[in-house]
């Protein structure tokens, strides 16, 4: 590692941390040279364990000793030429806008996203995130997906990027453990059609999670998963579609999905936050071990 004490946060070598927006990081010479920022040792650890290449680190000086294992791993796997920029706690706070609980960031190389067919090969349960733009919700859903054995997550073209700094941090680094890709790529016209058709072609029953008059209950969905394979109502491969925070799923998505499923509510509550509702659905449909 090359350890470099910085004199100013205006140092041009810190551009990825200080001057580029999340969108600029993602699109900068993408896909060959797109970047993202991993924040906190836990997120960095899980990224490194997944083989993600670090380009540099920005670390509070008091945290250098605590990062020695990560640095040793980088030296052994990626060579010893990776820069570690060392900042004071105050400098790092000025860069991030808040005091980091664990003062470490890393600029890391994006990887080419796999195709939907590749990521769904062998999958039995996948989650589809339609136009969810809140980074906290995306990160929370990724964490629940990892904890509750979802095989893959598909994000639509207008959905927030799971590698955005806050999303990855809220996910506790599970974004590097759960296979995911962008269904329809970056073409906003590819969702819901023909992308839902692709899921049907791959053998998935598509389930729109929404409170509509024709919705079936979650218990009925679970019953259909448990039916014998010969039963015409049996569901073998499940794709659950979750909608954006404000308006929910689009009417086009509701029209293209095979089923609409609701989580029954009590006490006059009309709906759950999408992060909560996805966790309930993941738990209810989990495979029995």
Helix (H, G, I), strand (E, B) or coil at 177: coil
Q: Which of 2, 33, 41, 36 is nearest to 17 (CA)?
A: 36
Distance (Å, whole) CA 125 – CA 286: 8
The pLDDT, as a whole number, for residue 30 is 46
User: Coil, helix or strand for 187?
Assistant: coil
Q: How far is CA 79 from CA 149, 176, 196, 197, in A?
A: 34, 22, 43, 45
- What domains, with CATH codes, occur in the chain? 2-109 (3.30.1330.30), 116-284 (3.40.1280.10)
What pTM was estimated for this model as a whole?
Answer: 0.90
- Residue 240 CA to residue 127 CA, distance in Å, equals 5
For 22, the token pair is: 């999340």
Place of tokens 């009309």: 270
Local confidence pLDDT in tens for the 289 residues of the chain: 899 998 888 888 888 888 777 766 766 544 456 889 999 899 999 999 999 999 999 998 888 898 999 999 999 999 889 999 998 878 877 776 655 456 889 999 998 899 999 999 999 999 999 999 999 999 999 999 999 999 999 999 999 999 998 999 999 999 999 999 999 988 989 999 999 999 999 999 999 999 888 899 999 999 999 999 999 999 999 999 999 877 889 999 999 999 999 998 888 787 789 999 999 999 999 976 5
């Amino acid at each position: 590692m090359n350890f470099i004490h910085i004199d100013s946060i205006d140092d041009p070598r810190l551009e990825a941390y200080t001057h580029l927006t999340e969108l600029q990081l993602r699109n900068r010479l993408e896909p060959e040279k797109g970047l993202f920022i991993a924040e906190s040792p836990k997120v960095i650890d899980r990224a490194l364990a997944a083989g993600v290449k670090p380009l540099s680190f920005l670390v509070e000086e008091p945290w250098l000793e605590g990062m020695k294992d990560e640095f040793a791993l980088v030296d052994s796997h990626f060579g010893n030429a990776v820069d570690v920029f060392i900042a004071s706690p105050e400098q790092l706070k000025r860069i991030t806008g808040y005091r980091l609980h664990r003062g470490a960031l890393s600029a890391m190389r994006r990887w080419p996203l796999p195709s939907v067919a590749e990521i769904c090969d062998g999958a039995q349960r996948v989650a589809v995130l339609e136009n969810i733009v809140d980074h906290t919700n995306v990160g929370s859903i990724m964490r629940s997906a990892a904890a509750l054995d979802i095989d893959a997550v598909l994000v639509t073209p207008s959905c927030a990027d799971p590698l955005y700094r806050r999303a990855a941090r809220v996910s506790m680094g599970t974004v590097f453990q759960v296979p995911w890709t962008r269904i329809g790529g970056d073409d906003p016209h590819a969702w819901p059609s023909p992308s839902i058709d692709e899921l049907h072609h791959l053998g998935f029953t598509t389930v729109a999670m929404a409170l509509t008059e024709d919705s079936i209950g979650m218990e009925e969905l679970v019953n259909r998963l448990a039916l014998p394979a010969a039963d015409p109502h049996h569901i073998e491969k499940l794709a659950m579609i979750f909608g954006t925070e404000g308006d929910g799923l689009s009417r086009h998505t509701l029209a293209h999905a095979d089923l609409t499923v609701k989580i029954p509510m009590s006490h006059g509550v009309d709906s759950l936050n999408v992060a909560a509702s996805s966790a309930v659905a993941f738990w209810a449909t989990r495979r029995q071990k």
